[in-house]
Amino acid sequence: MNYDIVVIGGGPGGIAAARSAAKRGARVALIERDEELGGILPQCIHHGFGLTRFKKELTGPEYATREEELLRKEKVDIFLNTTALSLSPCEVEAISPRGRKKFKTRAVVLAMGSRERTAAAIALGSARPAGIFTAGAAQRLVNMEGCLPGRRAVIVGSGDIGLIMARRLSLEGVKVEAVVEIMPYPGGLLRNRVQCLDDFKIPLLLSHKVIEVHGERRVRGVVIAKLDSEGKIVEGTERELPCDCLLLSVGLIPENELSQKAGIRLDPVTGGPVVDQDFETSVPGIFACGNVVAISDLADDVTAQGERAGERAARSLSSQDGKSGVELKRGPGIHSVVPQVLTKAEATKIAIRVARPMEQAELHCGDVCTFKLKNLKPAQMLSLMLAKEQVEGLLAADGATLRLEEKK
């Protein structure tokens, strides 16, 4: 099967990339390993989607339906229940219930999304009794399968999925004992902390850690302890919380096994591909967008990235120009930045995640430009627009180190 562009992943980023490329005349194939499009959106029945894109608050399924309707207006061949096994800029090999498939292509867009960290990923030692779930798995169990993970819950980590599940379980009559967060500051968006914890009077225990899980066949409780400023357990603060299920909301990991196989350069901090302004990776002809690059806060942002990646992938079909770029490097106070590479003098939106909370700070982009910022939080992605003149300055300076200077 011959295509101009193959998009891997049918979540909001992949849908947007496929639609955007097809609108520009490319022959596009969209590969999705699940039996339906939408990625995680079908199980996210809460509101909060679409405010940027559709100027209306939607549930996850409503957002997915709107995006799929827009996709089906374009000529895109969709392959469901199809898993990509390997790729190069000119071929994608995949497998489905009907057997192996080879897609010949001129460009690829990676939109595989992310997966949740598990108990093993955070070294949570226990005898592995029943009742330990990732927050996303519990969300699917409740919202799509109609089953409860337990009747008394403790949630580890204050990521957005965990906060949303604290509310969802409470609405279903489950007693949520607490949300236990190892950091001294919360991890989720402010609106989720207010709507999901404060409104339901669920305790958020900052600088705390689960140190033991009790139970043989089934979880029957956990032991938590307070941590000091160095992350060490404060003796005498240990206490047990009774529960029959433990939900883990401890972060997401970009799905990049395919990227590694293809020899794509990965960012050691985000875990995703290093990309330029076009969302093109270090391998020419392979683009990436959404959570496979870096974890985004909003599906609307993932869609915007997908549209740009699809457009630029389609544009690359008629251009064989080689690229050379300069890097945006992380300095003090900066956890991550996307894109990491600048290749052309054009206005560019950059997404930054800060390393720690700051009330007021100045962001210095080398010696080229400075931004004054307020209320910075690691849980919230910061978007800034670099003007064309500022990008020209960074290109002339052969790159820049981004650094935050806190102001008292």
> What integer pLDDT is reported at residue 399 of this predicted model?
81
Residue with tokens 């998009």: 7
Tokens of 347: 């206005």
Task: Give 83's contacts (C-beta < 8 A, 6+ positions apart).
Answer: 31, 33, 94, 95, 96
Share of the chain above pLDDT 90, in %: 91
Residue of 358, 349, 355, 353 lying closest to 388 (CA atoms): 349
The number of beta carbons lying within 10 Å of the beta carbon of residue 331 is 17
Task: Give 304's contacts (C-beta < 8 A, 6+ positions apart).
Answer: 16, 52, 53
Low-confidence ranges of the chain (pLDDT < 70): 120-127, 320-322
> What integer pLDDT is reported at residue 216 of this predicted model?
87
> What integer pLDDT is reported at residue 120 of this predicted model?
67
Domains, the chain, in order of start with CATH, read: 1-115+252-323 (3.50.50.60), 118-250 (3.50.50.60), 324-408 (no CATH)
Strand partners, 176: 153
Edge to edge, the sheet with strand 99-104 lists: 83-88, 91-96, 99-104
Determine the distance from the C-alpha atom of residue 72 to the mean position of all C-alpha atoms in its chain, rounded to a whole number.
25
Q: Which amino acid is at 353?
A: R
In the chain, the N- to C-terminal Cα span, in Å, equals 60
The number of beta carbons lying within 10 Å of the beta carbon of residue 117 is 17
- Angstrom CA distances, 290 to 216, 231, 304, 309, stand at 40, 32, 9, 10
